[in-house]
């Protein structure tokens, strides 16, 4: 179902103690609903935090997500963490296809197809990231690139499976750079993504799909970004590491 979502992606930040404390603050914020009504809040924590944070959560509108999962179910894959293991911690969701995974760890679409299948098999919700690099935008290939990422990574799914996917549009040139897509650029791409989903799965499914924006979203620009009709929320990196900033972004999402 289409939802208002604000998901934090902590990336490789926060010691165990710091992460547990930040999650406690977010849980309290969600609990007392200080202006964040109607927003599903997600915390994308490092693997080691998942079990403790999931255990401590008291609110149904808050869920924990992993930032990656293995392509295989179990076995001799040193250093990997399976979707089953993630689900067994109480985490409900996994972020897949983040541009940092694609570019630093060579995650191609065939790899992502396997990860998506594992996540669905373990009953995890998926936040699937797509987005173009600067050269692709400058060459006006951004629509083509994003459509290809969606097609190759997700469009083997049945409509029932696709219902467990949230899409995050993250222009790579805006991630951690302080340079955000303009609200108009975000809306244009989100509307395009919805049209691509409609072409494949039909308008009803497209209308039910949540599409998040990610890339230097902060308390100063969240309001303008979230005011767009096809922007259902945000995938927040840097600004999710400070409770006060994250709360402002949740409030901005709740407003529209």
Ligand X SMILES: O=C[C@H](O)COP(=O)(O)O
Catalytic, out of 125, 136, 170, 248: 170
Q: Is 164 a catalytic residue?
A: no
Q: State in angstroms the smallest separation of the CB of 127 from ligand X.
A: 9
Minimum CB–partner distance for residue 215 and ligand X (Å): 5
User: Angle between the 243-255 and 16-32 helix axes, to the nearest 10 degrees?
Assistant: 30
Question: Is residue 235 a contact point for ligand X (CB under 6 A)?
Answer: yes
| Closest residue to ligand X, based on beta-carbon distance | 237
Task: Decide if 26 contacts 57 (C-beta within 8 A).
Answer: no
Q: Give yes or no for residue 175 binding ligand X (CB under 6 A).
A: yes
- Residues 19, 214, 248, 249: which binds ligand X (CB under 6 A)? 214
Q: Which is nearer to ligand X, 87 or 95 (CB)?
A: 95
CB of 187 to ligand X, least distance (A): 18
Angle (CA) 222-252-20 rounded to 5° is 90
Helices (DSSP H) in the chain: which residue ranges?
Answer: 16-32, 50-56, 83-88, 99-104, 109-121, 134-138, 142-154, 159-162, 183-201, 203-208, 222-226, 243-255
On whether the CB atoms of residues 191 and 153 are closer than 8 A, the answer is: no
**Nearest C-alpha neighbor of 162 from the set 114, 125, 191:** 125
The residue annotated as part of the active site, out of 98, 107, 136, 190, is 98
Catalytic, 170? Answer yes
Closest to ligand X by CB, 206 or 239: 239
215 contributes a contact to ligand X by CB under 6 A:
yes
C-beta atoms surrounding 186 within 10 Å: 27
Point out the residues that are catalytic: 98, 170
Binding site for ligand X (CB under 6 A): 9, 98, 170, 175-176, 214-217, 235-239
């Amino acid at each position: 179902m289409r939802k208002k979502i604000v998901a934090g992606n902590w990336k490789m930040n926060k010691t165990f103690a710091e992460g547990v404390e930040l999650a406690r603050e977010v849980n309290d914020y969600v609990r007392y609903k200080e202006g964040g009504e109607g927003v599903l809040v997600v915390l994308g924590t490092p693997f080691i935090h998942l079990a403790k944070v999931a255990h401590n959560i008291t609110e149904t509108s808050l869920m924990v997500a992993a930032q990656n999962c293995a392509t295989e179910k179990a076995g001799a894959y040193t250093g990997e963490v399976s979707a089953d293991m993630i689900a067994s911690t109480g985490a409900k969701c996994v972020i897949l296809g983040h541009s940092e995974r694609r570019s630093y760890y060579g995650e191609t679409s065939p790899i992502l197809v396997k990860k998506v299948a594992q996540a669905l098999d373990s009953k995890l919700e998926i936040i699937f990231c797509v987005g173009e690099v600067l050269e692709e935008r400058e060459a006006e290939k951004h629509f083509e690139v994003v459509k290809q990422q969606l097609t190759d990574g997700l469009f083997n799914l049945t409509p029932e499976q696709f219902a467990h996917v949230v899409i995050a549009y993250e222009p790579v040139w805006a991630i951690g750079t302080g340079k955000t897509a303009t609200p108009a650029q975000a809306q244009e791409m989100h509307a395009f993504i919805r049209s691509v989903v409609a072409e494949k799965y039909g308008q009803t499914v497209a209308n039910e799909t949540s599409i998040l924006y990610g890339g230097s979203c902060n308390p100063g620009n969240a309001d303008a970004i979230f005011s767009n009709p096809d922007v259902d929320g945000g995938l927040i990196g840097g600004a999710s590491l400070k409770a006060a900033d994250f709360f402002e972004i949740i409030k901005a999402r709740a407003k529209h």
